[in-house]
């Protein structure tokens, strides 16, 4: 069951974190709505308002004045409308969401993916993710930031990252037309490549992959025999049942670092494993750069109580990308702050039960 109360001893840290968040909100809004530094999208948006965000947004709660962020704003071009003028001289990347529900959403990146994964690196124990050891990524590549981000994570820790190319959009097409044998053959093709790399490069100690691919890989080989000591795992829905199964049956003593993240948010940090959590998957967003709220799906201005179920409402706050109040296609339980992360978290994220979208998970 999710944590349903906050320790009084933690309240000063929570208050300090909220003060930092409010100050960060003011800084990011001032940047994106300044004619000298802002991006064309938000400058155009501001012209239609009868108020000035730079003077009237003074804290995180004030972001409600923008209303909900519409995902259609990120579908199609021109993508340069999202590049802030203050960063226009920097090399720009564009990363896309999965595209399983239509035209993929696009987000520009300059350094955010590096910052997110550099910060995340501090959460990985050196005992299991040894500095100067190499990595292998067995997961989505292509237009997603994941490929470059995990490679950067390996490099930050002194390693080299081997890559297995995987196109989940092809798998989605196969599943939608009922070609399950071909989808399984493609998954086997990816695992075959990973096994060859692992068997021939003994300095690989760290693995990034998705739940389905982790299970498929462990059906073929022993992670322990191949020298894998740390597994960084994320992707689609990860259940407590899979978490328990991975720890008890698949990992053979390797550290399990679960993650929740996406192209729009960045990367959340997992709560360190605690048997008392009964293998729940608990994440905390990288506040103040991103904030996850758990809200009433019928009234998204209302945050549910700790331990209660709601829809994930995401806000991203970086100089590269400002996205207030975006309703994710996920639901979860609201998790109380902890000493390590003194702000709200999310527990057992899963597809939003009321959505009408049919999303094929495939080899993810």
Average pLDDT for 313-327: 96
Residue 356 vs residue 294, higher pLDDT: 294
The pLDDT-based confidence of 238 (bands split at 50, 70, 90) is confident
Burial readout 231-254 (b: 16 or more C-beta within 10 A, e: otherwise): bbbbbbebeeebbebbbeebbeeb
Is residue 67 classed exposed, middle or buried when 0-12, 13-18 and 19+ CB atoms within 10 A define those classes?
exposed
For strands 269-270 and 322-335, give the pairing.
unpaired
Average pLDDT for 63-86: 94
Angle at the Cα of 84 from the Cα atoms of 79 and 87, rounded to 5 degrees: 110
Q: Evaluate if residue 160 carries a pLDDT over 70.
A: yes
Query: What phi and psi values does residue 255 have, to the nearest 5 degrees?
Result: -75, 140
Which pLDDT does position 2 carry in this prediction?
65
pLDDT digits (tens, 9 = 90+) for 16-27: 999 999 999 999
Average pLDDT for 106-134: 95
CA distance 213 to 223: 13
Average pLDDT for 252-270: 86
Most confident of 143-147, 167-171, 299-303: 299-303
Average pLDDT for 200-209: 96
Which pLDDT does position 8 carry in this prediction?
83
Average pLDDT for 84-99: 90
Which pLDDT does position 88 carry in this prediction?
94
Q: What percent of the chain has pLDDT over 70?
A: 94
pLDDT digits (tens, 9 = 90+) for 222-231: 999 999 999 9
Which pLDDT does position 101 carry in this prediction?
60
Closest CA to 243 of 347, 313, 117, 140: 347
Q: State the DSSP H helix or E strand holding residue 18, giving kind and residue range, or none if neither.
A: helix 11-32
Which pLDDT does position 305 carry in this prediction?
97
Number of H helices, E strands in the chain: 9, 16
Q: Evaluate if residue 140 carries a pLDDT over 90.
A: no
pTM of the model: 0.90
The pLDDT-based confidence of 362 (bands split at 50, 70, 90) is very low
Which pLDDT does position 356 carry in this prediction?
45
């Amino acid at each position: 069951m999710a944590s349903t109360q906050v320790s009084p001893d933690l309240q000063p840290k929570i208050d300090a974190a909220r003060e930092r968040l409010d100050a960060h909100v003011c800084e990011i809004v001032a940047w994106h709505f300044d004619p000298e530094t802002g991006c064309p999208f938000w400058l155009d948006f501001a012209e239609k308002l009868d108020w000035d965000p730079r003077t009237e947004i003074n804290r995180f709660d004030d972001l409600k004045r923008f209303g909900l962020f519409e995902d259609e704003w990120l579908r199609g071009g021109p993508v340069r409308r999202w590049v802030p003028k203050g960063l226009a001289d920097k090399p720009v990347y564009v990363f896309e969401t999965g595209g399983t529900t239509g035209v993929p959403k696009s987000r520009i990146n300059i350094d955010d993916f590096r910052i997110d994964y550099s910060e995340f690196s501090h959460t990985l124990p050196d005992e299991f993710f040894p500095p100067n050891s190499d990595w292998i990524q067995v997961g989505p590549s292509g237009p997603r930031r994941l490929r470059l981000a995990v490679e950067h994570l390996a490099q930050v820790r002194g390693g080299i990252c081997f890559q297995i190319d995987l196109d989940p959009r092809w798998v989605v097409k196969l599943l939608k037309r009922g070609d399950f044998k071909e989808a399984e053959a493609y998954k086997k093709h990816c695992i075959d490549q990973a096994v060859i790399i692992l068997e021939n490069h003994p300095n690989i100690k760290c693995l990034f992959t998705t739940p389905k691919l982790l299970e498929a890989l462990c059906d073929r080989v022993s992670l322990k025999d191949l020298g894998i000591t740390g597994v960084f795992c994320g992707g689609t829905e990860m259940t407590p049942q899979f978490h328990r199964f991975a720890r008890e049956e698949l990992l053979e003593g390797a550290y399990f670092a679960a993650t929740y993240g996406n192209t729009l948010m960045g990367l959340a940090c997992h709560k360190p494993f605690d048997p008392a959590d009964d293998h729940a998957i608990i994440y905390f967003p990288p506040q103040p750069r991103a904030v996850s709220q758990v809200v009433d799906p019928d009234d998204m201005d209302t945050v549910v109580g700790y331990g209660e179920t709601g829809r994930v409402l995401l806000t991203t706050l970086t100089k590269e990308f400002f996205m207030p109040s975006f309703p994710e296609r996920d639901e979860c339980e609201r998790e109380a702050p902890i000493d390590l992360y003194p702000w709200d978290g999310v527990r057992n994220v899963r597809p939003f039960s009321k959505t009408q979208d049919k999303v094929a998970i495939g080899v993810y």
